Every structure is written in C-alpha cells, then in structure tokens.
Structure 1
Amino acid sequence: MTSPVGSSQIESILSQIRNSSAVVRPPVAKTMDVANPASTTKIDFASALRAQLDQLNSMEQSSVSLGQRFALGDTKVNLSDVMIASQKASVAIQTSVQVRNKVVAAYQSIMNMQI
C-alpha cells in the first residue's frame, strides 16, 4: 500500500527537475570578437551535434534502464525517479525534433533562394 505524497516530496522532485535543466542546455560558446576573429575558438557543428545526440541517447537509455529496474522490483528505484527520468528524456527528444525541424526548414529556405 502506498502512502500519499507529501509536500516535502513534491518540493524535492521539483528541485531535482530544476537542477536537471542544466543537463538539457547546450554549452555556452564563445562569441566572435569582431576586432580579432582569430582569437575565438572554432566550434565544429558535427562534433557539437554528435555530443548532443550522445547526451540524448544516454538520457533515453537511463530512462529505459530505470523503468526496467522498477518493473523487476528493485527497491532502490522509486516510481518518481522513473517518471522524472522518463519526462526528462521525453522533453529532450521533443526539443531535438523541434530543432531538427527548424534546421531542415532553414536549409530548405536557403536552397530555394535565387542567386
């Protein structure tokens, strides 16, 4: 039998969600110095994309793993942990899909430009 969720547990879960928002945010890149363009570091788009996709994949795998452990009766895994991991992975996937859609739309817009 389960007990009702207290306000302290809800606050704890909300603080975990707030703290985990840093995981989804991409790293801050250096801005271009107009006076000295050689002083900035160059960011390779392919490596940045791969890093984000690897992070997304690890979040999804973690979510699936926690769900499986909970389903198998692991007492160290709470339902709230499973749901939080699942929602984090879901939000990350939805964000990635929206970014992909914007990149594809921008590419199509550029390809349709007249020269």
Structure 2
Amino acid sequence: MKTSAIDSGRIEAMMAQLKAAAQKPSASSPLEGISAPTLSQKPQAAGRVDFAEVLKSSINQVNQSQVNAEALGKSFAMGDDKVSLSDVMVAGQKANISLQATIQVRNRLVSAYQDIMNMQV
C-alpha cells in the first residue's frame, strides 16, 4: 500500500480534531472502553489541553478500533450470523486508516523534533 506524505494543513486539521475529541466526554464517543478522567487526576484550566493526554487518548482510540476490527473478524470466521463480511471489511479499513494517520503524525512529530534539535542557539 502506497502512502503519501500529509501536508502541514492536514496535520493541523488532525491536531484540531484530536483536541476536540479530547475535550468531549467519553459517553458521547462512538468507541467503547474509553474511560472518562478520574477524580484523582488534576483538573485543567478551561481551554487548555494537555498534549500528552490528547496523544494518549488518540492512541487508545486507534488501539480500540484495531481490537474491534479483530473481534469482528474472529466473530465472522467463527460463523456468527450477526456479523457481515462488509462490517468486518469496513472495521478493518477504519483501523488501517487510523493506524496510517497515527504513523504519519508520529513521523511529522519526529521530524519537527529533529528540526528543533538541529537549530543553533
């Protein structure tokens, strides 16, 4: 599968979506298994988003989509009548696309880090 580089405008749009997703309560999330922050975590100021939490949440969502796709595939292979082949294929493609997007974001972050480290002070 050939992947092309994502331009910076698309990266910025993805980061905005990640920030928006991190601010939504998990009850409205279409993915199951993602828990809301507990009371032991420190509250953040309104409008401020912790990058580490957004990144962790995004990676958890990618993982959950892959687990969901694998579970649907196993159910279909075992002969479950409730799972259609199209559901399995769509879930697999969603998981693949989310993984590829995550890899592109990671590559862009590593590149930005290397650029910053190579700057002369």
Match of residue 26 from structure 1 = 18
TM-score (norm 2): 0.64
Gaps of 5+ in 2: 1-16, 22-44
Gaps of 5+ in 1: 1-24, 30-38
Equivalent residue in structure 2 for 1:65, among 64, 67, 71:
71
Match of residue 42 from structure 1 = 48
Equivalent residue in structure 2 for 1:111, among 97, 101, 117:
117
The one-letter code of the counterpart of 2:81 is T
Whether 1:51 and 2:48 are equivalent positions in the alignment is no
Match of residue 85 from structure 1 = 91
Q: More deviation in 64-73 or 39-48?
A: 39-48
* Cα distance in structure 1, aligned partners of 2:19 and 2:75: 31
Higher helix share: 1
TM-score (norm 1): 0.67
Q: Report the CA distance shift for 1:68/1:50 in structure 2 as closer, same or farther (over 3 A).
A: same
Matched pairs, number: 82
Whether 1:76 and 2:68 are equivalent positions in the alignment is no
| Misfit runs of 4+, over 4 Å | none
The one-letter code of the counterpart of 1:68 is K
The one-letter code of the counterpart of 2:82 is K
- Superimposed CA distance per residue, residues 20-59 of structure 1 (whole angstroms, 9 cap, x where no aligned partner): xxxxx53438xxxxxxxxx852110110001001111110
* Cα distance in structure 2, aligned partners of 1:48 and 1:92: 15
RMSD, aligned α-carbons: 1.6
* Cα distance in structure 1, aligned partners of 2:57 and 2:20: 14
Identity of aligned residues (%): 46
* Cα distance in structure 1, aligned partners of 2:111 and 2:77: 41
Structure of larger gyration radius: 1
